[in-house]
Amino acid sequence: MLKGAGLVRAVSNSIAKKSYMAKKILIVEDDAVLQKVLTEYLTSEGFEISSALDGETGLQMSKTINPDLILLDIILPKKDGYEVLKEVKSDSKTKDIPIILLTNLDSISDVEKALELGATTYLVKADYKLEEVASKIKEILEK
């Protein structure tokens, strides 16, 4: 009896993950280790992941791959996250892409600035586990 319940759970988990298969996430993060961990975890959750190590590349990719959501750091080489956010939101092709800022900056002024520029939500890296980040992504994509 337990084997059947486990199989049903495995099948339902598989179906839940498949619903996110078509969802593309662009991760713009300059910490290669964190980027790899996020990529592996979100891929295991059924997302299609693209990534950039700097803001300039991330901005270009936002226009070419048309992601369903962008996970964006603020402190980045070439273009910081605020610039990327501002440019993505000012472009008619990309302005509707939800953007989650995932950063170590935790001051109220940083949060306010990000939200004013159009960020969907603001997460401080130290405060969230991978599961919670994935949950927030799913929540936003289901809206």
- For 73-83, the pLDDT digits (tens) are 999 999 999 99
- For 11-54, the pLDDT digits (tens) are 334 444 445 557 999 999 999 999 999 999 999 999 999 999 99
- Report yes or no on 13 lying in a domain: no
Pick the residue with more confidence: 82 or 10? 82
Q: How many CB atoms lie within 10 A of CB 59?
A: 24
- Residue 31: domain span: 21-141
- Report yes or no on 29 lying in a domain: yes
∠ CA 108-26-74, rounded to 5° = 25
Short-list 82, 137, 133, 75, CA closest to 104: 75
- Report yes or no on 51 lying in a domain: yes
52: domain CATH number is 3.40.50.2300
Give the per-residue pLDDT at 21.
Answer: 54
The amino acid at residue 104 is N
Alpha-carbon torsion, ordered 12, 14, 18, 21, to 10 deg:
150
Q: How many domains does the chain have?
A: 1
- pLDDT tier for residue 129 given thresholds of 50, 70 and 90: confident
- Report yes or no on 58 lying in a domain: yes
CA distance 57 to 38: 18
Question: What is the average per-residue pLDDT within 115-130?
Answer: 91
Q: What number of CA atoms fall less than 13 Å from residue 91's CA on the CB side? A: 15
- Report yes or no on 42 lying in a domain: yes
Give the per-residue pLDDT at 113.
Answer: 93
- Report yes or no on 47 lying in a domain: yes
- Report yes or no on 81 lying in a domain: yes
- Report yes or no on 33 lying in a domain: yes
Residue 126 has pLDDT above 90, yes or no: no
